[in-house]
Chains A and B, each alone.
Chain A
Amino acid sequence: MSTEVRPVKDGDFFAWLDLYAKYAEFYDTELTDQRALVLWSWLTDPDHEELGFVAVDGDRVVGLAHVREFARPLEGDRGLFLDDLYVVDEERGKGVGHQLIAAVRDLAEERQLGVVQWITANDNADAQRVYDSVANKTGWVTYEIDLAAAQNAETA
């Protein structure tokens, strides 16, 4: 296997979009053109905190990861949050997910960050098998006040 992980660059837009649309589909989230362009502008703007990695096999993009730093007040340090991780169906089980996570971990190490953290749905068993082999499942429970849903309900 000759898959490599590298930061996204300007020429990757269409290949990246293709993958990101599949990722959004997996999460039942509609990816509008506008939303995709906003995110791409974040990834390619050196002043924006969101960074992207792609896994490439030759000139094919087969995986992606999006990360950003976050403050951890009680720890008195910063961490790296993995917002999105995706590997195309036909490349799964070949270690691409591990390679992406390793690249993210290397970045965290280089920046001396205290943790790499991410969330996944409790029913996403495939992903959790990969995650359980590289990271620790925490006991945290996440709560949300969903304002978008509240706003939609008000305008409906």
Chain B
Amino acid sequence: MTADVRRVEDNEFFTWLDLYAGYGEFYETPVTDEKALLVWSWITDPENGLEAYFAVDEDGTPIGLAHVREFARPLDGSTGLYLDDLFVLPDARGEGAGTALLEQLRDVAKERGLSVVRWITAKDNQEARRLYDRVAEKTKWVTYDLVP
């Protein structure tokens, strides 16, 4: 079974919120109403670079979600595509929705002449990493955070 991928549309707030809340739960980061409305305003604002994609099952029901944005890569002199969030409903896992989302993002990036699709994940997220190891390369980058 394969899933189709399409852009999230302006009138799909509540469908999007269901999925995004599930994602927030997984990362133990509550998606408050305020946060949801802010992120939704980014997604629906054509001036804001954040884009949202749904993976849908054969009935057209959204079962997966991805958020991406372009980012500048100075040393490479190019622009890449950063995948901020990727989520597939627990009940719908193992049926290709995650792969379909990543393949679609790779195609979008390719069409736009972008140089890379990049994302991060938790070291211990084995389920996701099995998928990532199939479609992407694990890099040697270490990420540092400084909270101002």
Contact between chains at A122 and B140 (CB < 8 Å): yes
Question: Would you give the 0/1 interface string for B103-119, flagging 1 where the beta carbon is closer than 8 Å to chain A?
Answer: 00010011000111111
CB <8 Å contact, A137 and B39: no
**A143 within 8 Å of B (CB atoms):** yes
Q: Is the interface of B mostly helix, strand, loop or mixed?
A: mixed
Give the contacting residue for B140; candidates A32, A35, A68, A121; CB below 8 A.
Answer: A121
Nearest CB on B from A23, distance (A):
7
Task: Give the secondary structure class of A's interface.
Answer: mixed
The verdict on A50 contacting B74 (CB below 8 Å), with A143-B120, A144-B117, A145-B116 known, is: yes
Question: Is B82 in contact with chain A by the CB < 8 A criterion?
Answer: yes
Known contacts A109-B148, A120-B144, A144-B139; is A38 also within 8 Å of B39 by CB?
Answer: no
By the criterion CB–CB under 8 Å, are B117 and A76 in contact?
no
Closest residue on chain A to residue B49 by CB atoms: A71
Chain A min CB distance to B89 (Å): 17
* A113: chain B residues within 8 A (beta carbon): 148
In angstroms, Cα B49 to Cα A70, docked, is 10
Task: Find out whether the CB atom of B142 lies under 8 angstroms from the CB atom of A137.
Answer: yes
A84 touches B74 (CB 8 A): yes
B23 engages A140 (CB within 8 Å): no
Residue from A49, A74, A117, A148 within 8 A of B144 (CB atoms)? A117
The residues of A that contact B132 with a CB separation of less than 8 Å are 143
Q: Are B69 and A71 in contact (CB under 8 A)?
A: yes
Interface residues in A58-78 by Cβ distance below 8 A to B read: 66, 68, 70-76
Q: Does A105 contact B (CB under 8 A)?
A: yes
What residues make up the interface of B, taking CB atoms closer than 8 Å to A? 23-24, 27, 29, 31-32, 34-35, 38-39, 42, 48-50, 67, 69, 71-78, 82, 84-85, 102, 106, 109-110, 114-124, 129, 132, 135-148
